[in-house]
Amino acid sequence: MAVAVSLPLGVGSQAKAACPPLPYTFTNGQTADAGQVIGDLNAIQVCIGNNGSVNSGTAGQVGAYSATGNAISGTSLSSVLDSSIGSTQGSVLFRNATGWVALAPGTLGQALVSGGPGSNPSWGSGGLPIPFYAALTRPSASAFTLVHATSTTATLGDMPSGRGMTMNVTGAGSNSNSSMEQPVLSQTAFTVTTTVFLASSLDGNWWVGLAAKDSTGKYDAFGVQHSGGPGTFTEFTFNSINLLNTTTELYGVFNPNGPVWLRLQLTGGNFIFSVSFDGENWETASTISATHFLGSTLSTVGVIVDDNSSHHLIVDDLSWSQTTP
């Protein structure tokens, strides 16, 4: 079998330049054997295979090398940026003097600051204030047991936003106590820290604090009390969740419209109760023997709420930690 064939291979193509010469050379009008033609076609196929292949992709993808080699496959633009620039969450893509690069994540509270034309952006101070709950250790309702007095009802649940949990207490006029508790980690030394925020009406008589309970069911609690005016720091003792024993005003006033950080430490046989309004600067409100009211064996520690009003008291607990030295 003889065929007449013309192969206008072109000049200077990248594929041709990277391939060896074809085994057979033909000119227009030349009669060539079919075997020669097939030989040239096979050589061209081998050349294309050696210089790369393009696999199928889907709409919206881009062609990229998924590994070192000569095969191009369809992939997402996000995957291309991950592999070529970086995949660290929080990174920012920007153009420096030579190409596109990633700016590594800054620290909590920093803002992206422009360097102006011809300069690179950087992380610095400024921007909008960070919500106070952003860096807190957020609690989960499943870590606590809810206890409440027989004269009231209460619920405890996680906030849908994931910022923490909420205790919703129905007031009954007196002894409307509810407590979210967990076992103490130590009988000799622990530190419990929490951040509470009133998410309901601030009127009426209510109290929120940290409480330790002994094995007989008595509570020694320290916190903030509101009784129609500016709040005070107060110690409450309860013979049981149903029965108030004493109320001792400690000192000072607090702003019930903002978050309050409360800390209760057991150390050296004493309870040390401290308060803060920013989570960093603490002031000691009370130091008292841990057994001045409670027995020697502690059972639980937690947040206790007393709602002596006729409305619901909603308390957001936005942070919680219990540690031992």
pLDDT in tens, 61-116: 777 776 666 677 777 778 878 877 888 888 888 888 888 888 888 876 677 888 88
- Report which of 140, 262, 259 is spatially closest to residue 193, judged by C-alpha positions: 262
pLDDT of 198 reads: 85
pLDDT of 8 reads: 42
Average confidence (pLDDT) over 188-194: 96
Q: 115-129, 153-167, 180-194, 198-212 — which one is most confidently predicted on average?
A: 180-194
pLDDT of 1 reads: 38
Whole-number average pLDDT of the chain = 82
pLDDT greater at residue 153 or residue 182: 182
pLDDT of 116 reads: 81
| Contact (CB, 8 A) for 67 and 53 | no
The set of residues, in sequence order, having a beta carbon less than 8 Å from that of 8 and lying 6+ positions away, is none
Q: 25-39, 199-213, 261-275 — which one is most confidently predicted on average?
A: 261-275
pLDDT of 16 reads: 42
What is the spatial distance between Cα 137 and Cα 176, in angstroms, rounded to a whole number? 28
pLDDT of 133 reads: 65
Whether residue 220 has pLDDT greater than 90: yes
| Contact (CB, 8 A) for 304 and 194 | no
Average confidence (pLDDT) over 136-146: 93
pLDDT greater at residue 9 or residue 185: 185
Whether residue 193 has pLDDT greater than 90: yes
Report the SS3 class of residue 267.
strand
Q: Please report, as a single letter, which amino acid is at residue 122.
A: S
Whether residue 52 has pLDDT greater than 80: no
pLDDT of 3 reads: 38
Average confidence (pLDDT) over 192-208: 83
pTM of the shown model: 0.62
pLDDT of 6 reads: 39
- Kindly provide the b/e burial profile for residues 238-270, where b requires at least 16 CB atoms within 10 angstroms of the residue's own CB: bebbeebeeeeebeeebebeebbbbbbbbeeee
What is the spatial distance between Cα 191 and Cα 74, in angstroms, rounded to a whole number? 55
Which region, left, alpha or beta, applies to residue 111 given φ > 0 means left and ψ of -120 to 50 means alpha? beta
pLDDT of 74 reads: 73
For the stretch 250-303, pLDDT in tens is 876 666 678 889 999 999 999 999 999 888 899 999 999 999 999 999 999 999
Q: 110-119, 138-147, 249-258, 300-309 — which one is most confidently predicted on average?
A: 138-147
For the stretch 154-182, pLDDT in tens is 899 999 988 899 999 886 666 678 999 99
Q: What's the farthest any 2 CA atoms get from each other in the chain?
A: 116
pLDDT of 181 reads: 97
Residue 228 CB neighbours (<10 A): 7
